[in-house]
Amino acid sequence: MPNIIVNTELCNRCNTCASICLMHIIKPAQEESYPSIDSRNENNCLLCGHCEAFCPQQALVLDYLTEEKQLYQEEESIIAPHHLALYMQKRRSIRYFKPESVAKETITGILEIARYAPTGGNSQTVQWLVIHDPKEVRRISGLTVEWMRSIKDTPHPLANYVPNIIKDWENGLDPICRNAPHLVFAHIPTGDFIDDRTDAIIAITHFDIAAPAFGVGACWAGFIQMAIDSYEPLMAALDLPPKRSVGFGLFFGYPELETKAIPRRNPLEVVWRT
Ligand SMILES: Cc1cc2nc3c(=O)[nH]c(=O)nc-3n(C[C@H](O)[C@H](O)[C@H](O)COP(=O)(O)O)c2cc1C
Ligand code: SF4
Ligand code: SF4
């Protein structure tokens, strides 16, 4: 496990690093020493990087993927609240797509942002499956419709809803992925650990929010998710690595239509306890 490297020329022994470490493994600097991690405690490091990120002197480097360290100018990272509000409020679920493909480099650019989504205990167990081939996307839609046929005459809560979807599919439409050229799934270790599923949904949310900055539009693939959870042939078609399960997915591509206004939502409801 990594340790910390402290530049003694820059360190002013403020001990921010020791106080901020969630795991309390950084021994504070004393008059004659600098902060350090006892090698016996290295295994408790979460790799969260807070010691490095919050060091006011930038005197500390976590000895982990050091070649990927990024510095930035503060002014480059500031977004005015009204710009952020507009950016996020004008994001829409996209259901009409241009047929053109989104380049793998562009998708990677979005995923490079999404991989910074927070994870419980910094576990970073989320991995990705991108279905880039539109024919495969259509196959996944078809399997979801097959699952819908299997619940049509059952007490399933969607049973009354599915006949119209099935009819659309039979008429050559794609009511599941809306003819989007691509699908992305965040997948997680199989099991009931609530944090893993939550991590996947947060990661997918990051993708959904980052995508419009690349000109890409997405929509949450809720029908597919419902089918995946109970329809083995669909899970088999996704062919995830062993012991991995889908957390959630989005279909995406370049939007065919532009939004021109922000729709209304329910008013904010907050209980303030002061
Ligand atoms: C968990 C979840 C599942 C969804 N599943 C679908 C879906 O299967 N198909 C679809 O067209 N839209 C789906 N949506 C999109 C919602 O209908 C959409 O977010 C909502 O109508 C509000 O529109 P907006 O996202 O443009 O604000 C889903 C959204 C969420 C959050
Ligand atoms: S936060 Fe930085 S400057 Fe302060 S003690 Fe730690 S390494 Fe030194
Ligand atoms: S990376 Fe996180 S857990 Fe590890 S030493 Fe730094 S602050 Fe502590």
CA–CA distances in Å: residue 233 to residues 3, 37, 209, 227, 248: 46, 50, 30, 10, 17
Distance in Å, CA 95 to ligand 1 centroid: 10
Q: Whose C-alpha lies nearest to ligand 3, atom 4?
A: 45
pLDDT of residue 114: 98
pLDDT of residue 71: 87
- What pTM was estimated for this model as a whole? 0.94
pLDDT above 80 (res 271): yes
Token output for 226:
């419902």
Token output for 89:
């409020």
Name the closest ligand to CA 141.
Answer: 1
Domains of the chain with CATH codes:
4-68 (3.30.70.20), 86-253 (3.40.109.10)
Residue 204 to residue 215: CA distance in whole angstroms? 17
Q: How confident is the model over 139-160, as pLDDT tens digits?
A: 999 999 999 999 999 999 999 9
pLDDT of residue 136: 98
Q: Give backbone dihedrals phi and psi of 105, rounded to 5 degrees, phi first.
A: -65, -40
pLDDT above 90 (res 26): yes
Q: Whose C-alpha lies nearest to ligand 1, atom 3?
A: 222
pLDDT above 90 coverage of the chain, percent: 94
The response to whether residue 55 sits with its C-beta less than 6 Å from ligand 3 reads: no
Q: How confident is the model over 82-112, as pLDDT tens digits?
A: 999 999 999 999 999 999 999 999 999 999 9
Q: How confident is the model at residue 134 (pLDDT cuts 50, 70, 90)?
A: very high
Name the closest ligand to CA 30.
Answer: 2
Among 23, 43, 63, 124, name the best residue to mutate to test ligand 3's pocket (greatest count of ligand atoms within 8 A of Cβ): 23
Q: Whose C-alpha lies nearest to ligand 2, atom 3?
A: 11
Q: How confident is the model over 206-253, as pLDDT tens digits?
A: 999 999 999 999 999 999 999 998 899 999 999 999 999 999 999 999
Q: How confident is the model at residue 2 (pLDDT cuts 50, 70, 90)?
A: confident
Task: Provide the 3-class DSSP secondary structure of residue 122.
Answer: helix
Name the closest ligand to CA 263.
Answer: 1
Q: How confident is the model over 160-178, as pLDDT tens digits?
A: 999 999 999 999 999 999 9
Q: How confident is the model over 193-204, as pLDDT tens digits?
A: 889 999 999 999
Residue 145 to residue 224: CA distance in whole angstroms? 9
pLDDT above 80 (res 1): no
pLDDT of residue 194: 83
Which residues, listed in sequence order, are joined to residue 185 by a DSSP beta bridge?
129, 249
Q: How confident is the model over 27-75, as pLDDT tens digits?
A: 999 999 999 999 999 999 999 999 999 999 999 999 999 998 888 899 9
163-191 burial string, b = 16+ CB within 10 Å, else e?
eebeeebeeeebbbbbbbbbbbbbbbeee
pLDDT of residue 120: 95
Q: Of ligand 1's atoms, which has the minimum distance to the CA of residue 92?
A: 26
Token output for 186:
């965040």
